Amino acid sequence: MVRELDGSILEGGGQLLRNATALAALTNRSIRVSKIRAGRRPPGLKPQHVAGSKLVAQICLAQLDGADKGSDELTFSPRNIRLGNYSADPGTAGSTTLLFQVSLPTLLFSTSPIPTISTLKLRGGTNAVQAPQIDYTENVFLPFLRQHFGILVELDIRKRGYWPKGGGEIRLSITSRQDPLPSFQLLERGEVTKIRGRSFAAGLPAALARTMAETARNHLIEAGIDESKIEITALREKEGTAVGSGSGIVLWAETENGCILGGNALGQKGKTPEAVGSEAADELVRNLSHGGCVDEYLQDQIIIFMALADGVSQILVGPLTLHTKTAIWVAEQLTEARFQVEEVDMNRVLLSCTGTGFRRIINHQAQAQGSPTWN
C-alpha cells in the first residue's frame, strides 16, 4: 500500500520531502508525495530535490517516479538499503548540506554487529542561501549528533562552492550501528562557555571577512557576552579552494551542559559587511535569549533522530518553528514515534518524543546485486 502525503502541509517545502523519503527508505514503506512545494515560486522540485531523491533511491534500490525538475508529485517505493559509497551532484549551487540531510539517516543502521563505513561525495553549494552553511553542519549539527545520539560522521570539505556557480565538494564518512540510537534528556542550557566563529571571503578582499568578524564581536559584547569568551577567525579563502566568490559568517555558542547554538549570515550584492556581521550576531543573541538548548535551525533537524531513538527523549527548546512542526508531522505519519509539546513559559517549550527504537531488519526478498561505488 502506498502512503499518501500532502506536500503542502504546514511549512510545505523541501524539508517535508527529505524527511519523508528518508523515513520511507528506513521503514521500507512506499509513499506518494503530492503538491510538492505548492506554495513556492516556482512550485515543484528543484534540481537539488531531484538529486536528493535520486541519491536516497540509489541507496535503498527504490523505484522512483516523478523525480524531474518542476514535478509536483513523486512516488518512492524502497526495497533494501545497501550501505556503501555514493555521490550526488545537482549540477547547480544547490546545497550539499541538504543532500547530506536526506541521506544520513539511511546510512546509519546496519544488520551487522561490525560497523560499516559508508561514504558520500556531494557536490554543489557549501555556503548557500536557505540552507545550513557547511560550517554550521560541521560545528553545530555534527557535534550535537555525536554527543547526544552517538552518531559518528567525519566531514572533509574538499572545495567550497558559492552561489550561483556551485562547484563545491564535500566528502563524508558515516559509521553504521546495529543498536538503536539512544534517547537523551537536555533540559538545562547552562552558562555560555565559548562563542566561536568563522568569517570568510572568497574571491573578495580579506578586509570584508575582518569587518564582518569585528562587527559581530562588537554586537555580541553589546549584548552582554564576555569578550574573553569570543573567538572569531577571519580569513580569505585561498585560490583553488573555492569556486566563485562569496562571503559570510557563522557563529556558534557552546554551553557548560553540552548545548550548541548558532547564528549565521551570508554576504549579498548591496549588503555591507557590517550588516552581515550584525545579522549573524543578532541571530545568535536571539537564539540564546529564549533559554532553550538548541537554536531554531537545529530544532527541526533533530526531530527525525528523536523519532528513531530508543525510549523517551526530552529537550528544552525555544518557540516551535513551522519547520519543526512539519518534521514532527512527517515522523508521526511514517513511524510509531509520538511527540508531546508542553509550554514551559512564553519563550520555551519542553519537547518530548517516545521513539521507535529503530533497528534495521534486512528484506531478503528485495536484495539486489552490486553496490554503487565512485572513484
Active site residues: 323
The DSSP symbol for 311 reads S
Cell of 345: 513559559
List the one residue out of 359, 353, 357, 361 whose CA is nearest residue 309: 357
Q: Is 314 annotated as a binding residue?
A: no
Q: Could you give phi then psi for residue 187, rounded to 5 degrees?
A: -115, -10
Give the span between the Cα atoms of 270 and 104, in whole angstroms: 36
- Beta strand ranges found along 256-311 (DSSP E): 260-266
Ramachandran class of 203: left when φ > 0, alpha when ψ lies in -120 to 50, beta otherwise: left
Give the span between the Cα atoms of 319 and 351, in whole angstroms: 10
- Beta strand ranges found along the chain (DSSP E): 3-6, 31-34, 63-65, 74-77, 85-88, 117-124, 152-161, 168-175, 185-186, 192-202, 230-236, 242-243, 246-255, 260-266, 312-317, 338-343, 349-354
Cell of 55: 541519491
Q: Is 297 annotated as a binding residue?
A: yes
Give the span between the Cα atoms of 222 and 216, in whole angstroms: 10
The bridge status of strand 117-124 relative to strand 260-266 is unpaired
CA-to-CA dists, residue 156 to 119, 136, 244, angstroms: 11, 14, 19
The DSSP symbol for 228 reads G
Cell of 311: 525510549
> Partners of 173 in the beta sheet?
119, 154
Cell of 337: 514515534
Q: Is 133 annotated as a binding residue?
A: no
The bridge status of strand 85-88 relative to strand 117-124 is parallel
List the one residue out of 172, 187, 88 whose CA is nearest residue 137: 172
Binding residues: 101, 297-301
Binding residues for ATP: 101, 297-301
